[in-house]
Amino acid sequence: MGVKVAEYLGQRTDIDTPTILPGNRGDLCPYMHNTTCDKLNRNNEPVCSVRRADGTLWITCASRLCATKKNIPLCTHQVSILHEIGKSIYDPEIQLSSICVKREERLTVVEGTNYNADYILTLEDGMSPYPGPDRMVLEMQGGGETTNTGSLTRQIIAWRNNQNRTNEILRQEVRSVSTLETNAWRRQQEQFIVKGNIAMKTWKGYGIAFCVGSLLFDYLMNKLTAANLPDLRQYNWTLALIGISENAEIPPTPGPIPLKVDTQRQLFTNYQTFVQALINQGEPSLAAFAGDFLSLSGNAINISRHGR
């Protein structure tokens, strides 16, 4: 497939000036208020996102989309993303002052394990006059990891060590690297199901909204093509899946690549129906449960397909 570095420490690489400089431990994250870059703190290269060979953006940093920390003020980037999500969920004309959030809120499951909701989202009086939940868990998952990360890192280190470094060198395609949508969804699936269930159990009229990058949205929709999930956008939906894409309508300028809520990638439906559709992906697999077995004593045994 192949990918190229799309953003490095908040700077898009597809323009040639200014020349991007290598990041160093202690540099600030471009997407959070007065917070140092987590990747640089872990001695990793600060790649915020990559671009696939087909041009699609894939976020590779957990802070890139709209991460938060409870006791740190929201920055302009976070407020902008949350406002766009609010416009999609509630009303295109809704004002910033009407949207309220709690961040990194603790949720507890029955065995005592704690989960943190990225956000709890509601309106200023805790009630919504619009279709959908009055209050909801709002989760962010822009993208995830890539294959052969070492190959990408080696290219960036070569750029870092090049005395004649250019943005063109930084954005060169690494053909052995590809995006891993499957892994991204597997990591999120348990939390998505559990947090949604907590919202459903807490109070009638609560729900969950899940904001994902365009590649992850398409991956989920492809898995659920046969589910025929009901479109409840104008009704009592309890789950929203909202795609986030690159805003290619804005001409490239130095800084981060602008993102937008993708109006063509949205699903408003019923939480229980969605979860059931995930569970129902399996088909009967008779061949897996019959045929050649090996006993623990080392004997080959053929077992027929017929059960009791």
On the question of pLDDT at 308 being above 80, the answer is no
How many CB atoms neighbour CB 298 within 10 A? Answer: 6
Q: Identify the residue whose tokens are 């790649």.
A: 47
On the question of pLDDT at 124 being above 90, the answer is yes
pTM (whole model) above 0.85: yes
State the average pLDDT over residues 175-203. Answer: 92
Of 14-18, 95-99, 108-112, 197-201, the one with minimum mean pLDDT is 108-112
Give the pLDDT score at 211: 97
Q: Which two tokens stand for residue 2?
A: 């192949």
> Cα–Cα distance between 8 and 44 in angstroms, integer?
12
Question: CB neighbours of 116 closer than 8 A, spacing ≥ 6?
Answer: 104, 105, 106, 107
Of 123-132, 220-229, 290-299, the one with minimum mean pLDDT is 220-229
pLDDT in tens, 44-89: 999 999 999 999 999 999 999 999 888 899 999 999 999 999 999 9
Band (4; pLDDT cuts 50, 70, 90): very high
Question: CB neighbours of 48 closer than 8 A, spacing ≥ 6?
Answer: 6, 7, 8, 9, 10, 30, 31, 59, 60, 61, 64, 256
State the average pLDDT over residues 189-206. Answer: 92
pLDDT in tens, 294-307: 999 999 999 987 76
On the question of pLDDT at 13 being above 60, the answer is yes
Q: Identify the residue whose tokens are 């104008």.
A: 234
On the question of pLDDT at 113 being above 80, the answer is no
Q: How many helices (H) and strands (E) does the chain have?
A: 7, 12
Band (187; pLDDT cuts 50, 70, 90): confident
Give the pLDDT score at 86: 98
Give the pLDDT score at 110: 76
